[in-house]
Structure 1
Amino acid sequence: MYLIAFDLEGTLVKSKSSWVELHKRFGTWDKGEEYAERFFKGEFDYATWAKLDASLWRGKSRKEIMEWVESVEYFEGVKELFEFLKRNKFKIAIISGGLKCLAERIGKELKADFVYANELLFDEEEKVTGDVLSWVDFRNKGDILLELKEKLKPKLTVAVGDGHNDIAMFKVADVSIAINPHEGVEGDYLAKDLYEVKEIIEKILKESGQ
């Protein structure tokens, strides 16, 4: 059995960031951008940042959030890649710093084995409360992957992502694949699309005689 962990946004789907896209959808990006700048200056931690962001959407309905979730499109090659992974005995994890509502939709459709992301909370009227369960921050993707690796004891662990918060996963994985990465993000392999990710994994399995 093998293990592979994927980032979600910018890797499997065309959304760049749940947070940014909802800010733009709801007209709250000016304040959202200010909070992002303050977080990266070290003024507060990730959990505080997430709650500040979500507080700007307080009162928005689950329906409004899900309309955006359902609009997010896949990158080409994702279904072929996941079918290949399933045929080759991979356990598949999606580890996203975005929102669980999107990650769960994608995980269910692609039949991923594990899904980790941040959860917006809703009240009894299905309105955003402004609270967030921050399961995945900018630093702990590697911790999540390490926990899975220790639990499953796979023959091979692969990580695929595009952003700086994916580097922590890359350090834990046996093999890392950077797909259209942000500047300064490097993996053992570089891929331009998901078809190329599939080719790289095929090559790795063949070379290792697995």
Structure 2
Amino acid sequence: MSSKHLKDRVKLVAFDVDGTLTVEKSAWEYAHRKFGLWKGEGEKYLDMFLAGQISYAEFARLDALRWKGIPYDKLVKVLEEISYVNGAIESVEAIQRSGVEVALISCGLMPLVERIAKELDIKYYVGNELKVKNGYLTGEAKVNVSLDLDSISKGAYLKRLSKGLNITTRETAAVGDGIGDLDMFKVADISLLVNCTPDHKKIILESIKEVIELDCVSTVPHVLGFKGEREIADEF
């Protein structure tokens, strides 16, 4: 299908955050490393989850527990260090200029998701939260988006959001960078895979019939038929 036809159809574009819009593949891992808690701890919990030894909720609980007592402001400052990938801001803005809704659907940390939503004027977003008391992390997590629980998966959130906006899933596109976005890809009519590692790509291509592979997020507006800043400038 041509870009023009895609543009006429798409009313909502859902973006993953970590590794799709940002240079860091995981905000959780980035924070662990900054706190000196990755090797032997955060890394171990990730391996346990990937091996199927613990649930995603337990994975998040163990991660959050290691941060108990850390000032929340310290975490926020750490996450503020995470930058956008080239073209991320321009891509989102190009889509928004076309009157299409943009959403952020992430298993990452809510402070980062909220920051990006605020900076890019995105109304719809979701991420995973850490509980705070008197300015300090309590060591507890609130999982809003799960990788192994269908009712709060990325796909489930996209379905609920689409319904709330009176948009059919056939009018949605999803942009992500790995297997954590599979549920979202299965719901969205158009799946765009950016900056994906070969091992993740193999699994995704075996699971989804049609996936548009892109080298970088900056090409998303063009593929969907939305004009980027350069294309607008060329008209004058």
What's the TM-score once normalised by structure 1's chain length? 0.91
Residue 166 of structure 1 and its aligned partner are, at CA, apart by 0.4
Q: Are positions 1:195 and 2:218 aligned together? A: yes
Quote the Cα distance in structure 1 between the aligned partners of 2:56 and 2:154: 13
Moved more, 3-12 or 71-80: 71-80
Larger CA deviation: 128-137 vs 145-154: 145-154
Q: Tell me what 1:86 maps to.
A: 96
SS in 2 for 1:19: helix
Question: Which ranges of structure 1 fall in alignment gaps of 5 or more residues?
Answer: 204-210
The alpha-carbon deviation at position 153 of structure 1 amounts to 2.9
Match of 1:100 in 2: 110
Unaligned runs of 5+ in 2: 1-9, 227-236
Which residue matches 1:207? Answer: none
Count of aligned pairs between the two proteins: 202
Partner of 2:7: none
Which residue number in structure 2 is paired with residue 206 of structure 1? none
- Tell me how far apart the structure 2 counterparts of residues 13 and 38 of structure 1 sit (CA, whole Å): 25
What is the match of residue 23 of structure 1?
Answer: 32
Q: Take 1:7 and 1:55, find their aligned partners in 2: how far apart are those partners?
A: 25
Q: Describe how 1:1-210 pairs up with structure 2 within 5 A.
A: 2-29=11-38, 30-124=40-134, 126-139=135-148, 140-154=153-167, 156-182=171-197, 183=199, 184=202, 185-186=204-205, 188-202=211-225
User: Aligned-pair distance for 1:163?
Assistant: 1.2
For residue 40 of structure 1, report the CA deviation from its aligned partner: 2.2
Q: Are the aligned partners of 2:91 and 2:219 in contact in 1 as well (CA < 8 Å)? A: no
Q: Cα RMSD over matched residues? A: 1.5
Q: Tell me the alpha carbon deviations over residues 102-156 of structure 1, each in whole angstroms, 9 at most, x when there is no partner.
A: 00000110111211100011111x1111001100111411111111122223362
Q: Distance in 1 between matches of 2:27 and 2:114?
A: 13
Letter in 1 for 2:54: F
Q: Which amino acid aligns with 2:136?
A: K
Equivalent residue letter for 1:31: E
Question: SS of the residue aligned with 1:50?
Answer: helix
The one-letter code sitting in structure 2 at the alignment partner of 1:57 is W
Distance 1:77 1:28 in 2: 31
Name the CA distance, whole Å, in 2 between partners of 1:54 and 1:67: 17
C-alpha separation between the residues in 1 aligned to 2:87 and 2:46? 32
Q: Cα deviation per residue 1:86-108 (whole Å; 9 max; x = unaligned)?
A: 12121111011110000000011
Q: Is the 8 A contact 2:16 2:175 kept in 1?
A: yes
Aligned residues with identical type, % of pairs: 36
Distance 1:195 1:166 in 2: 18
In 2, distance between residues paired with 1:75 and 1:32?
24
SS in 2 for 1:15: coil
User: What CA distance in whole angstroms lies between the structure 2 residues aligned with 1:42 and 1:76?
Assistant: 34
SS at match of 1:121: strand
Aligned to 1:47, the other structure's residue is in SS state helix
